[in-house]
A and B are shown apart, each in its own frame.
Chain A
Amino acid sequence: MHAVQRPLSPYWIYRWQITMWLSSLHRITGLLLSLGAVALGIWLIALANGPAAYAEIGAIAGSSWFKVPLIAWTFCFFFHLTNGVRHLFWDAGLGFDKARIQASGWAVVVVTLIATTAFALVVIV
């Protein structure tokens, strides 16, 4: 907005760490889940509209290309959920030291990958 040349925060010289990745991912997955909420809404409205409308939506939702957004939303869901728990612990003032913040980050990654794979294999694929 302003043309004043101020020194910028040097975020680009930081070594990328897991905490930064997960922080960005939390926001990105949150936004993608908002889109997923739209899909959930369309699914519910189609169900309320009756068998014909539901079949139309089902043709799209059941097609092979739609597995891509479905798996992506599954990943976003489990990531945002588990990392959200991490955020709630921080809000309570817990787990803020460097060792625990990194350990809980990796725990989120592992749980997300396991849950996403399991859910995708059983429900989607």
Chain B
Amino acid sequence: MSLVTPLSRVLGLGTAKGAAEHWWMQRLTAVALLPLGLWFALSLLGLADFGYATVLAWMQRPFTSILMLLFVVAIGYHSFLGVQVVIEDYVTGKALKIVAIMGSTLAHAGLAIAAVFAVLKVAFGS
């Protein structure tokens, strides 16, 4: 049972919004991004060049596609949480803050879905 009153939950801004989950997901995605980020960097080191054929062949390997999907989703979530904290810290004024967080949320969701779609399209061919 939650001890947060319905009123304070509806009022939104401020505390009682699930800060613990925010904190936890930021750490969880950080831990996920450690191996994924290192894999991505090492993969780029291993590529002969960045031409279309080379990158396509690399990206179409199932192993690459799967890790790339995980990488893109983890980046999207981690970036979303981080940018939200920055907005909450520096954007003053309730209306502007809501608009900024809304814009950031939509941008992150949109880009993450576009990136996931792109990886899948490359993986399954056209």
Interface set of A (CB-CB < 8 Å, partner B): 1, 27, 30-31, 33-34, 37-38, 40-41, 44-45, 47-48, 50-51, 54-55, 58, 61-62, 77, 81, 84-85, 87-88, 91, 119, 122-123
Contacts and interface: CB of A to CB of B under 8 A. Distances in A.
Interface residues on B, range: 35 or more
**Counting chain B CB atoms within 10 Å of each CB, which of A30, A34, A54, A77 scores highest?**
A34
B80 to A, nearest CB: 9
**Counting chain B CB atoms within 10 Å of each CB, which of A1, A37, A38 scores highest?**
A37
A interface, over-half SS = helix
Contact of B34 (A34, A37, A54, A81): A81
**Counting chain A CB atoms within 10 Å of each CB, which of B30, B31, B92 scores highest?**
B30
Contacts of A87: 30
B82 A34 contact: yes
A84 B30 contact: yes
Nearest to B27: A91
Interface of B: 27, 30-31, 33-34, 37-38, 41, 44-45, 50-52, 55-56, 59, 68, 72, 75-76, 79, 82-83, 86, 92-93, 111, 114-115, 117-119, 121-122, 126
B98 to A, nearest CB: 15
B41 A41 contact: no
A85 B34 contact: yes
Contacts of A37: 75-76, 79, 111
Nearest to A91: B27
Nearest to B93: A1
B30 A47 contact: no
Contact of B30 (A48, A55, A88, A122): A88
**Counting chain B CB atoms within 10 Å of each CB, which of A40, A58, A61, A77 scores highest?**
A40
A47 B56 CA distance: 7
Given A37-B79, A84-B30, A122-B45, A58 B115 contact: no
Nearest to A74: B41
A119 B59 contact: no
A58 B55 CA distance: 12
Contacts of B72: 40-41, 44
